[in-house]
Amino acid sequence: MISSTVDLVLKNAKIFTFRGIVTGGLAVEKGKIVKLSKEPELPRADETVDAKGFLLLPGLIDSHVHLRDMELSYKEDFYSGTCAAAAGGITTVIDMPNTVPRTSSLKALREKKQEARKKIVINLAFYAGFPSRLNEVEKMAKEGIVGFKIYPHDPLEEIDWNNEEQALSYLKAAEKNNLPVSIHPDDLETINKLQSELKQQKLSDIEVFLGSHPATTEKKAIVKFTEWGTKTGCHIHICHVSSVESLTAIKEEQNRGTKLTCETTPHHLLLTKEEIKKQSTFAKVLPPLRTRNDNTALWAALLEGIINTLASDHAPHSLSEKEKPFPEAPSGFPGLETLLPLMLMKVAHGDLRLEKLVELTSSSPAKIFKLKNKGMLLKGCDADMVLVDLKEKWKIDPEKFYSKSKFTPFNGWKVTGKAKMTFIKGSCVMSDEQIITHRGTGSIINIKL
Ligand code: DOR
Ligand code: ZN
Ligand code: ZN
């Protein structure tokens, strides 16, 4: 039964449901959606928001985010990063484990959670790296992580990801605990080999960088881990797919019925390597930006359903790090505050259906990472929501970012569509570009298996 007065009513909205957009209202009680109604049959509420003219979407779930903090808090911390997410209409993020200290032990994971609890303003779930001791895998799974992340080119622990026997033992352990394993598809031996070859050829720094991370290595890593996934029954999720070659391999495996999902990013969909010539280190990212042909293939795969999720790969660094000479500058840039506007721009241009966007950024990540009651606007679900203005035209300005990283390769892009209000479990945390909540009001999601 709904009590006579609920916590929040949002009225006059256009509400996104997978059965279509309905004009009406929505009632929230104790953080859950308790009613979706076409007519003005809504209960009385402590707080009412008139959403006239705006569209209500499920809050975005960004399943690939480097929130940093701990010893890398100069790049980003749990507060600045989650404020950036809220400003970008993102209500849940999954944090990556390549931090200092590395999130590849029970101890490091617990310390990170403790720090996060004090600072976050949205929902936060964690990835972990595989621990050096195999018997710690189960303990980490019980700590509620969404899955394990592997960086074969830069392992978090001393695990040789070219040693099949060792790799299979870890993947088996993840499978036993019903957790997916996400892969950054690259290979250390190949990078080193190509780098030393290319450096002798008097090529530019950019050419050495691009040449040492070719699409062929990406594809090879995908094929290898997918094969090991099949051998162990482990669900493999490929991060930031960037090339035609990789997509062909993934499609083949998916057609064969392999349990294989994958993600891409706005920058791999929208930018090419030409951007590196123009923006130098500010467009340096791994995997590298590739060609227009790759962009086109990624869009096609996205619309066809080969790509399952869209994530920002928010990878903040300090300005002084990005201003280093090209070979030393770190890869990556922030993405939490550009993901939704860039994609709403594609919706406005008629290149992307709203349903597809919501699937890629809400319902599908919720399903893959077992985020219960998230990613949909349905009675009984958590009231994690974003109210968007589909028509607002504005210019991306990194000076306005909540992220500590005040740069983006999308600087100055003219976009259409903006997050106006973000709600976490029915409570408004961002309104008109302002964060209106306090640090520590967000919650940590622990996956129960
Ligand atoms: O460009 C990147 N930056 N790619 C990665 O895989 C890691 C990330 C980071 O952590 O900075
Ligand atoms: Zn990566
Ligand atoms: Zn990443």
**φ and ψ of 228, to 5 deg:** -70, -30
Which among 65, 313, 324 is the best mutation to test ligand 1's pocket, defined by most ligand atoms within 8 Å of the CB?
313
355 dihedral zone (left: phi>0; alpha: psi -120 to 50; beta):
alpha
Residue with tokens 């050096």: 132
49/110 Cα distance (integer angstroms)? 38
Neighbouring C-alpha atoms within 13 Å toward the C-beta of 222:
31
Residue 331 Cα: closest atom of ligand 1: 1
Point out the residues that are catalytic.
313
Residue 66 Cα: closest atom of ligand 1: 10
Pairing of strands 55-58, 5-17: parallel
Residue 96 Cα: closest atom of ligand 1: 10
Question: What pLDDT sits at residue 214?
Answer: 97
Kindly list the domain boundaries of the chain, sorted by start residue. 5-56+382-437, 62-368
Find the 23 Cα to ligand 3 centroid distance in Å.
38
154/151 Cα distance (integer angstroms)? 5
Which ligand has the nearest atom to the CA of 184? 2
Find the 66 Cα to ligand 3 centroid distance in Å.
6
Could you tell me the fold of the domain covering 5-56+382-437?
A: Urease, subunit C; domain 1 (2.30.40)
Question: What pLDDT sits at residue 247?
Answer: 98
Find out whether 235 and 181 touch, Cβ atoms under 8 Å: yes
Which ligand has the nearest atom to the CA of 267? 1
Q: End-to-end alpha-carbon separation of the chain, Å?
A: 29
- Both tokens of residue 413? 């892009």
Question: What pLDDT sits at residue 4?
Answer: 78
139/361 Cα distance (integer angstroms)? 29
Q: By three-state DSSP, how is residue 444 classified?
A: strand
Find the 185 Cα to ligand 2 centroid distance in Å.
8
70/97 Cα distance (integer angstroms)? 12
Which ligand has the nearest atom to the CA of 286? 1
Residue with tokens 């998230």: 374
Residue 98 Cα: closest atom of ligand 1: 10
Find the 314 Cα to ligand 3 centroid distance in Å.
7
Residue 284 Cα: closest atom of ligand 1: 1
CA angle 448, 364, 58 (to 5 degrees): 90
Which among 98, 314, 333, 408 is the best mutation to test ligand 1's pocket, defined by most ligand atoms within 8 Å of the CB?
98
Domain made up of 62-368: CATH architecture: Alpha-Beta Barrel (3.20)
What residues line ligand 1, using a CB cutoff of 6 Å?
66, 98, 184, 285-286, 315, 330-332
pLDDT tens-digit readout, 377-408: 999 999 999 999 999 999 999 999 999 999 99
Question: What pLDDT sits at residue 238?
Answer: 98
pLDDT tens-digit readout, 189-238: 999 999 999 989 989 999 999 999 999 999 999 999 999 999 999 999 99
Question: What pLDDT sits at residue 1?
Answer: 53
Find the 331 Cα to ligand 1 centroid distance in Å.
5
DSSP 130: P
User: What pTM did the predictor assign?
Assistant: 0.97
Question: What pLDDT sits at residue 39?
Answer: 66
Q: Which residue numbers in the chain have pLDDT < 70? A: 1-3, 39
Rg (CA), the chain: 21
Which ligand has the nearest atom to the CA of 313? 3
Question: What pLDDT sits at residue 41?
Answer: 86
Find the 400 Cα to ligand 2 centroid distance in Å.
26
